[in-house]
Chains A and B, each alone.
Chain A
Amino acid sequence: QVQLQESGPGLVKPSQTLSLTCTVSGGSISSGGYYWSWIRQHPGKGLEWIGYIYYSGSTYYNPSLKSRVTISVDTSKNQFSLKLSSVTAADTAVYYCARALVVAATFFDYWGQGTLVTVSS
């Protein structure tokens, strides 16, 4: 059973960089076949896809966030990470990591529990 767990600061100051890590257990990121994703949910709102990465390092980002987002992978630690720069209060959200199967279709079959990140001074 694949499990994902987000970790990182719950409070980030405006203009700084939000950094989160997702640790994967029960499966190896480097085995391939899946993309490793970040998705966020603003308080009381819907889901927003941020982007995802393949174990090889190939990345795909939401165009609305692309200029501020970097997703990276560390296969030796079975982790992948999110960096979101120049944050504002509008980036306050619950951030989820998830596994995506990307074949003919794209869907997210395993999710972390989510972590709330608040942007405030």
Chain B
Amino acid sequence: QSVLTQPPSVSAAPGQKVTISCSGSSSNIGNNYVSWYQQLPGTAPKLLIYDNNKRPSGIPDRFSGSKSGTSATLGITGLQTGDEADYYCGTWDSSLSAYYVFGTGTKVTVL
């Protein structure tokens, strides 16, 4: 089981906004940058957000990231049917043995 906890699912109607939380601890989110990945059905994950709140080239500004303390949040505004996917947070964990860890994942459903 991952040390980064996300809600299993969130949903909203097209055009609405959703937020996805990623809860960790001082050994991971609290002291490291967070990235977010979108995984469309049957495809490889895709980088959405890095360094807590930066978007790679080509990622629309409908996607945003933030971090506060030991939690991070991904926001998606103007929800589209094409946003229906699994979303994962990720960060380095510096506990006993350092390693990279992904969140448990959140399924976004567009109603």
Contacts and interface: CB of A to CB of B under 8 A. Distances in A.
| A is bound by B | yes
A112 B43 CA distance: 10
Interface stretch (A11-19, A42-50, A70-78, A83-91): A42-50
A113 B51 CA distance: 24
Interface string B27-68: 000001101010000011111001100001000000000000
Contacts of B46: 111
Main secondary structure of the interface of A (DSSP, over half): strand
A107 B2 contact: no
A58 B36 CA distance: 26
Interface residues of B, number: 27
Contacts of B50: 101, 105, 107, 109
Given A105-B35, A107-B35, A46 B99 contact: no
Given A47-B88, A111-B45, A113-B44, A105 B32 contact: yes
Contacts of B105: 46-47
B85 to A, nearest CB: 13
B101 interface: yes
Given A46-B102, A49-B99, A109 B47 contact: yes
A80 interface: no
A108 B45 contact: yes
Given A46-B105, A108-B47, A111-B45, 5 more contacts: A60-B98, A63-B97, A107-B47, A108-B45, A113-B43
Interface of A: 46-49, 60-64, 96, 101, 104-109, 111-114
25 contacts: A46-B2, A46-B102, A46-B103, A47-B37, A47-B45, A47-B105, A48-B102, A49-B99, A49-B102, A60-B99, A62-B99, A63-B99, A104-B51, A105-B32, A105-B35, A105-B50, A106-B32, A106-B91, A107-B47, A108-B35, A108-B37, A109-B47, A112-B44, A113-B44, A114-B44
